[in-house]
Structure 1
């Protein structure tokens, strides 16, 4: 039984050592970066932003097209053959014509309005994407930072237990300690290594997403630098709830997009009604040997008679689109109100919880663990008490780090739902 457990533990220790070695080999690629530097890198390099910015250029090109007038039409005809040649050979007969299509009912101006609204929609879509990606970036940044702080706790405890395990093996070989004490140390070390490996996997997953946002090499290890300390601060007191809500209405681009969609559909309805009015084509023609007489010059006008097709279907669809966009706007407004209210409440809860902690607790507890370690080495406390202290220390430190992360994330979510960086850390 002892041999089986030892083999399993050695395998896990070997995997853990390999993982640590792999991270050490890429230490030269470690990037220490602040949140401001990360945002600057993101704005310069993110491919999703670059791709979506082309949509604005594309919409601008459509405006150029909408402003253009229709090209005139020119036609030429030359005789080839005729039975009656009293007027001379057929090839002498030539006719020319030019015509111009004139749009009516302000169709051109309405198309220009639609193109301009299309540019506005593309811009709003771009800035809403920017808002979402920045939220993801900041969340990933702080998640990595606080998880790395938790990883340090595991690393310290694993290193300490590894040294203890070496000493216990020597004592066990001499017959000075019981096998159960050695197995207890090994089991504790095994549990910590499994938890540490799982935590590192989560860090690596979040890092991979952040590296994509920043266009960093996959081999890069990100070391977030965070200097802000929210301990004891009531940051939400600096901004009222009404300010948050007003800012959301003014700066949420998904809400603006819903508003401009109503304007777009209203203009489109006007265009569809204008489409029911026939366009007019005016023409000028010249016939060298015409039937009416030589060198005949004539003018003409043509247009469709709107007896059957008056664009009834297009007009109906445009009216339905208006009603639909109004409902969508109301839904988006409700969503904005709900987002701000829910996230404001969550942020208040997280702030209240964080400020209820004694700021001296963490450093004092860290000092206590250092003393516990010394007392255990001097055999002033037993193994079980030593492990219990370490387990309590680890659990509380992880809870504190997770709570600090939850508080920062709640503020980032408020920034996101209001579209305004009220609480940049």
Structure 2
């Protein structure tokens, strides 16, 4: 971009002085005052005429006016509740890019394009990022319910998860960039003094003012590129929000599964203690040997180890969940949920169609393509040089004359017509088009892995629920009754107990795998909200 010329060309006539320590005779002062006012009026009229000519006939990239590309049209039904355009950022965690609507209207009105690219902002809500009511950080604080519901934990994570707050800050940064790139260049003003001391006078003294005029709609194109950057940042925020929600839901069911494992292990310990007591009774009655008692004691101690492991697993699951919530100091608390709740069957084609339609990753890829297309238009407009206009008013203290001067400058694009910048922008458009295809294929590949986990675990859960667990439970009941009656040995009882315990643990593990896969599919394969950098993971 051409910078304003700081030096004013000497005019062929004398200029007015800002001060006149060696002024002319006072008898001519009245006539010179009238002449000075007329010169100023002629100067202002000349400036207005030059500016009008420049802005009306400045060439463009295609000879038909500024290059502005297809306009951005914001769907007001998809915008949600945004802040007022042009407002400074208020106390909130998320952006309010309503300025997109204002900019889009202006671009569309000035360009006259019919093929508009619709900007589709995500469901971005400030209230979702920063709720008005704080949520307690530990179960000891006053809570309206005795157990945590999933919705309570989701609200807490939306408020406190640092990754989501960082993504919202990047949207604010994109909004600031949109404001900055559309601002006009500042005018410049200065003092000019020449021929000082010539003939014992102050010479020619005065001032000048200038302005750079941006041509070819470059500022509008800057705003268009920045608007797509806002769209990209919003989609990144939506992706991180989904990651947070998926992590919360996965952690929620991990804790529920750990609670179930703890309950099953505790039940097995009670069964083992009852068997140990029965073995002691049979030994006292001399109906069995002491070997059965020793085996029962060993099994009982082994189950206590498993119980401690289950307790540690429950604590670890809660700690992982509390980290996602942004409240690692929270103490373990029972959660209200049912891991045995019937889930809908997920069909592969339905899951794939929804993923391709709703994934923020695909939306980000499309936003990047639109940004690259606008950047290409901006690169093509860059070869149209800007115009510098400067005007001066000076006074020649030797003769007492007052004149004005006008200077217009424009670079002559002989060598640099932004050829490299245009080629770079065109290559980025092609890369963005290929990126969309890559993201779609990658999503299908990742979905295939998760869907296999879902299909396997869903089949196992159904099989354990309908056939295996009822049979194991019935076997344990029959063997326990026979053992207490002295009809079977302890080895048979031990085998039945272990089968029942292993069957229930396998069922619980299948439940865990099914919930993990289901929640990942429902969460559009977005998770790991605390891993890596916000920008790096989105790339």
State the partner residue of 1:143: 254
Could you say what secondary structure the match of 1:226 adopts?
Answer: coil
Equivalent residues in 2 for 1:7-406, closer than 5 Å: 32-77=147-192, 82-86=196-200, 88-89=201-202, 93-161=204-272, 180-227=291-338, 229-231=340-342, 235-236=345-346, 241-289=348-396, 294-341=401-448, 343-344=450-451, 346-357=453-464, 359=466, 362=469, 365-366=472-473, 369=476, 372-373=479-480, 376-377=483-484, 379-406=486-513
Greater Cα shift, 115-124 or 176-185: 176-185
Q: CA deviation at 1:390?
A: 1.0
For residue 138 of structure 1, report the CA deviation from its aligned partner: 1.3
User: Secondary structure in 2 aligned to 1:85?
Assistant: helix
Q: CA RMSD in A?
A: 3.6
Displacement of 1:89: 3.7
**Deviation of residue 134 (structure 1)?**
1.5
Residue 20 of structure 1: aligned partner: none
Q: Contact (CA 8 Å) 2:139, 2:333: kept in 1 or not?
A: no
Q: What is the CA distance between 1:207 and its match in structure 2?
A: 1.8
Structure 2 vs 1, CA of residues 83 and 73 (structure 1 numbering), >3 Å: closer, same or farther?
A: closer
Contact 2:256 2:335 in 1 (8 A): yes
Alpha-carbon deviations, 1:103-157, whole Å to 9, x = none? Answer: 1222111100011001100000011111122222212211221232122221222
Mapped partners of 1:177, 1:241: distance in 2: 57
Q: In structure 1, list runs of 5 or more residues that go unmatched.
A: 1-25, 420-425
CA distance in 2, matches of 1:43, 1:337: 28
Larger relative helix fraction? 1
Q: Is the 8 A contact 2:253 2:339 kept in 1?
A: no
Could you say if the C-alpha distance between residues 147 and 155 of structure 1 is closer, same or farther in structure 2, counting changes exceeding 3 Å?
A: same
1:37, CA displacement in angstroms? 2.7
Cα 1:38–1:340 change in 2 (3 A) is same
- Structure 1's 153 and 372: CA in aligned 2 closer, same or farther, altered over 3 A? farther
- Kindly tell me the number of residue pairs found equivalent between the two proteins: 386
Describe the superposition over 1:209-257 as per-residue Cα deviations: whole angstroms up to 9, x where unpaired.
Answer: 21022233535113232247445x7533xxx655433322221001111
* TM-score, normalization by structure 2: 0.63
Q: 1:229 to 1:381 in 2, by over 3 A?
A: same
Whether the 8 Å contact between 1:142 and 1:224 is mirrored in structure 2 is no
